[in-house]
Amino acid sequence: MIIVDSRGDVAMVHVAVDRLDAAASPAFKQAVASQVDADTAKLVLDMRAVEFVDSTGLGAIVSLMKRLPPDGVLVIAAPRHPVRRLLQITGLDRLFRQFDTTEEALAAIGG
């Protein structure tokens, strides 16, 4: 479901499903709870493998954001068109900065 690797103080979370939808979101949230360290404050969500996200999947990403401390930051790397579009429609593009590559995302949040 997810693969997590650490780059300095940044957790890189690779989403390893093609659809982060209502069917997949419970397992995603469970995987996050067990694999992402509770003290994580900077997180890059690598969405390159994800072809589709619905509002439930988006809610799961928001819940991931809520795990971070108040000064924590979550950015999205390599979102495909449907993911960018969903963020734009919901206005969450103002909450989650997006970068074309994981390298750019890491550079932006200081990994």
Partner 1 sequence: MAAEEASFTIEADLSQVRELARFVRQEAGLNEAALADLELAVVEAANNIILHGYGGGGGLIRCHVQRGADAVRVTLSDSGAPIPEDMLRNAQPTSQMAESGRGLAIIRACVDEIAYTSAAGANRLTLVKAG
In terms of CB distance, is 38 or 81 closer to partner 1? 81
- Six token digits for residue 101: 């590559």
Residue 55 is a binding residue for partner 1 (CB under 8 A): yes
Burial degree of 13 (CB within 10 A; 0-12, 13-18, 19+): buried
Residue 89 is a binding residue for partner 1 (CB under 8 A): yes
Q: Helices marked H in the chain — which ranges?
A: 25-35, 55-67, 81-90, 102-109
Q: How far apart are CA 12 and CA 42, in angstroms?
A: 9
Residue 58 is a binding residue for partner 1 (CB under 8 A): yes
In terms of CB distance, is 93 or 104 closer to partner 1? 93
| Among positions 4, 67, 82, 104, the unique one binding partner 1 when judged by CB under 8 A | 82
Residues facing residue 14 across a β-bridge = 3, 46
Q: Give the residues lining the site for partner 1 (CB under 8 A).
A: 19, 21-23, 52, 54-56, 58-60, 62-63, 65-66, 81-82, 85-86, 89-92, 94-95
